[in-house]
Amino acid sequence: MLTAFARAFKTPDLRKKLLFTLGIIVVYRIGTKVPAPGVDYRNVQTCIDAAQANQGLFGLVNMFSGGALLQITVFALGIMPYITASIILQLLTVVIPRLEALKKEGQAGTAKITQYTRYLTIALAVLQGTGLVATARSGALFQGCPVASEIVPDQSMFVTITMVVTMTAGTAAVMWLGELITDRGIGNGMSMLMFISIAATFPSALWAIKEQGSLADGWIEFGTVMLVGLVMVGLVVFVEQAQRRIPVQYAKRMIGRRSYGGTSTYIPLKVNQAGVIPVIFASSLLYIPALIVQFSSSTAGWATWVTKNLADTGATPHIILYFFLIVFFAFFYVAITFNPEEVADNMKKYGGFIPGIRAGRPTAEYLSYVLNRITWPGSLYLGLIALVPTMALAGFGANQNFPFGGTSILIIVGVGLETVRQIESQLQQRNYEGFLR
């Protein structure tokens, strides 16, 4: 593998792409450290150093921003508005005929949907930026910190608008940096920035586990976490690569004097067809009741129940509901993104058929049957992986930002495999062996 990396840097085109990607990553990481205007940086660091920053309510967004959210920097919102906008557009494509027609138009339609995603990203950035500034001003961002209400000393309207505009511009800049990586670098730009954001939180989270440990000065807990992480990475790689290949045969057709078709291929159905989307959906849905309680400041019975059972990630109702929501959204997302009838119609149009299955409706029913069968283990796997941080909290007192959480591992492994695959394909085009010999 080291030889393959050396060959990648010896290839001029590939070296240029790798260095360009690294340069964009450096710019992105600098932006996550620049405080937003109007923020008292010392008070923010006081709250973070006092270990008051482990708010499960903001943990997901903070992870996707590389820790920039709780530091209230220029890139505080990170890539999260773009992720949300992409998911919304993907779901609306199934509901709105106009978007579905654009999707079928090919490259021109895809460019139009990408433009809509950008507009929606900016709108969501304004909304999320306003919410973040309001939360920081009220002191709710760092509950329990003595200087939490002094994070934004000047609470005038001008300062508030300036902060919201700055964070929105930061989101637009992050989106632009991601597109630059996609066009001129290696891999998908948005996925790469997400990968860097999550990976950037690993060293501090791992060292915090070591500092909080009590066995042999914390090194035993540290080693246990590293071992658990390696096992999880191996499991995720195994499941993410697993797929059910359905053979497809194309009949021969004579057009004039030439023979077309007669080839055989397969339809790859992944075990985890939904990816990390169900985990994000379930986490976001469970955060909504806790957000309502936090902003309403209610002390009624329902608010107490929500705080005790849903806001607490270690509570049994939270764990059970979280697991079943992930399973539900896994089936839901697969159902709206993979249409067996459309695949069966396309196969029939081009003379393709599954051996032993008649073309048309029987093919669609067979694909639906196989998809449901393999989605079950995929959804259960997602649920179990997502519960690892909860088990870590119970096992050795790790904080809620446990580095080897389900969402972070799924994204890091998925993006890592895809990036290595792209580098491998470019090496093989130049007659190199690649990473896997």
What would the DSSP string read from start to end of 332-382?
HHHHHH--HHHHHHHHHHTTEE-TTS-TTHHHHHHHHHHHHHHHHHHHHHH
Full strand arrangement of the beta sheet holding 264-270: 264-270, 243-250, 352-353
Alpha helices (H) along 139-218: 157-184, 189-200, 202-212
- Coil vs helix vs strand at 79: coil
3-state secondary structure of 263: coil
The reply to whether 236-437 shares the fold of 16-198 is yes
- For the stretch 253-261, contacts whose Cβ atoms lie closer than 8 Å and that sit 24 or more positions apart, written own/partner, are 253/351, 261/350, 261/351
- HSE-CB of 11 using CA atoms within 13 angstroms: 20
Containing 301, the helix (H) or strand (E) segment is helix 301-309
Q: Within 10 Å of residue 386's Cβ, how many Cβ atoms?
A: 24
**CA–CA gap between residue 4 and residue 23 (Å, rounded):** 21
Asked if 36 and 163 count as a contact pair (C-beta separation under 8 A), the reply is: yes
- Tokens 């003379």, located at residue: 351
The reported pTM is: 0.79
Q: What are the backbone angles phi and psi of residue 259, rounded to the nearest 5°?
A: -105, 130
Which residue ranges make up each domain of the chain? Answer: 16-198, 236-437
Half-sphere exposure of 336 (CA within 13 A, CB side): 18
The CATH fold assigned to 16-198 is: Preprotein translocase SecY subunit (1.10.3370)
Distance CA 350, CA 26 (A): 48
Q: Name the token pair of 72.
A: 């209230």
Per-residue pLDDT of the chain (437 residues; tens, 9 = 90+): 556 667 777 778 888 888 999 999 999 989 888 888 888 888 888 877 665 444 555 666 677 777 777 788 888 888 888 888 888 888 888 788 888 888 878 788 888 888 999 999 999 999 888 888 888 887 777 776 777 777 888 888 888 899 999 999 999 999 999 999 988 888 888 888 888 888 887 777 777 777 776 666 667 777 877 887 788 888 888 888 888 888 888 776 666 666 655 677 888 888 888 887 888 788 777 777 777 776 666 677 777 777 777 766 667 788 888 888 889 988 988 888 888 888 888 888 877 888 888 888 888 889 899 999 999 998 888 888 888 766 665 555 555 455 666 677 888 888 888 888 888 777 777 665 555 55
Joined tokens for residue 297: 């400041």
Tell me the C-alpha distance between 38 and 165, whole Å.
Answer: 12
As a CATH number, domain 236-437 is: 1.10.3370.10
374: which 2 tokens? Answer: 């393999």
CA atoms within 13 A on the CB side of 211: 8
* Residues 127, 121: Cα–Cα separation, whole Å: 10
Confirm if 7 and 424 have CB atoms less than 8 A apart.
no
